[in-house]
A and B are shown apart, each in its own frame.
Chain A
Amino acid sequence: MFEKSLVPRLVAMFVMAAASSTAACAHEKALSDDEAVRALFLKQVEAENAHDIVKLDSILADGTDDKSSPVSFVARAYQFWGKKEVMTHFEETFKGTWHLDPDMPRIRVITLNTDTVQIYVPTKVTLGAPGKDAVTATYLINQFAVRTSQGWRFTAILPIPAQ
C-alpha cells in the first residue's frame, strides 16, 4: 500500500509541519498576549489614579485561599504577601495622594512562558499621606501577569526606586 521510501518522508513532513505550526502559533499567541497585558496595566493605572479599589481588585489574580495567593507587593519599605494584604495596603494608600504616571513608550513586555508575562515600566509615582505634602519619585515598576480563566491578571508588583 505504501512505498517503503514514502513512509519515512511522510513522517518527516508531519514532524516539520507540526514544528512549524507550533512556532507560528506561539508567536501569534505572544503578540496578542503582549497587547492584553499592556491593556491590563493601563486599566490598573486608571484604577489606582481613580482610587477605585473595586476596579483594582479585579485586576489582581485570585488564589484558592489567601495563604496560596500569588499576589505580592515587595518594595524597599515594605512587603505585602497575598491579595488581602495588598488590597488592605491600597485601601490605606488611597486615603492620601496616590498617582501613577507611566512612561509607556519605555514599557517592556517579556514572555516568561505561555501563561506568564513580566512587564517593566518606568513610572513616576506621586504619593503622600492624608493631609501631608505629596512627593514624586520615579520607580522601575516590574509586574508579573498570569493567564487565568478570567483573562490576564497581575500577581507580583515590584517597584524599584530609580534614584
Chain B
Amino acid sequence: MKTQFKAALYYGIACATLLAANACIGATTFTEADRQQVKEIFERQARAATAHDLDALDAVIAAPNELGDPVVFVARPYQYWGKPSLIDHFRETFKGVWKFEPDVTKLRVIPVTTDVAQIYAPTQITLGHSAADARTASYLVYEVAVRTPAGWRISSVVPIAVQ
C-alpha cells in the first residue's frame, strides 16, 4: 500500500513536471503592478548605468533563454547583438564618462502583450572619454522589457538621437 502510494506520488510529480515544462511563464493580464515593476526595472537600469555598476546593469538585462539571446542594442553608430556583447560595450563605456538621466515624468510604459512592454523615455545622455570631452545630448530612448522567471528584465534598447 505504502509502495503504491509512493508510486502514485512519483507519477503525479512526473506528470506535473511534463505539464509545467510545456507551459509558458506567461501571465494572463498586464496589471498595474506589472507597469510599476517595468518602470522600476528601467529606473534600476538608469541608476546602474550612471553609477557605472556593471553587476547591477547585468542584473536588469534579460538572460539568454531556450529561444536564444533576446538582447539587442541598436544605435546609429553601433549595433550589439546578445547580452555578452552589450555588457562588453558598457564595460568599455564605463571607463569614461557616461550618465543616463531619463525624464521619468515623461516615461511611457505600453504593454505589447501580457509578457512584453514597451518603454519610452526622453533621456539626457552624457558621454565622453573624459570630463574634458564629455558632451550631453537628448535621446528618445525606446526599450522593451520582457517578463522572465526572475521578473521583468530589459531585452531591447533603441536610442534615437533627438538632434
Which residues of A line the B interface, CB within 8 A? 1-2, 4, 7-8, 10-11, 14-15, 17-19, 21-23, 25-27, 29-30, 68, 70, 72, 74-76, 79, 81, 108, 110-116, 118, 120, 140, 142, 144, 146-147, 155-156, 158, 160-162
Residues of A within 8 A of B21 (CB): 18-19, 21-22
Q: Is B140 an interface residue (CB 8 A)?
A: yes
Please state if A70 and B7 are interface contacts (CB–CB under 8 Å). no
Please state if A70 and B110 are interface contacts (CB–CB under 8 Å). yes
The 3 closest A-B pairs by CB, nearest first: A18-B21, A14-B14, A2-B7
Q: Is B75 an interface residue (CB 8 A)?
A: yes
Partner among B18, B76, B110 whose Cβ is within 8 Å of the Cβ of A14: B18
Please state if A118 and B72 are interface contacts (CB–CB under 8 Å). yes
Q: Is B156 an interface residue (CB 8 A)?
A: yes
Which residues of B line the A interface, CB within 8 A? 3-4, 6-7, 10, 13-15, 17-18, 20-22, 24, 26, 65-68, 70, 72, 74-76, 79, 81, 108, 110-113, 115-116, 118, 120, 140, 142, 144, 146-147, 155-156, 158, 160-162
Residue from A23, A75, A76, A108 having most chain B Cβ neighbours under 10 A: A76
Q: For the complex, would chain A's binding face be called helix, strand, loop or mixed by DSSP majority?
A: mixed
Given contacts A14-B18, A18-B17, A111-B67, contact A160 B158 (CB under 8 A): yes
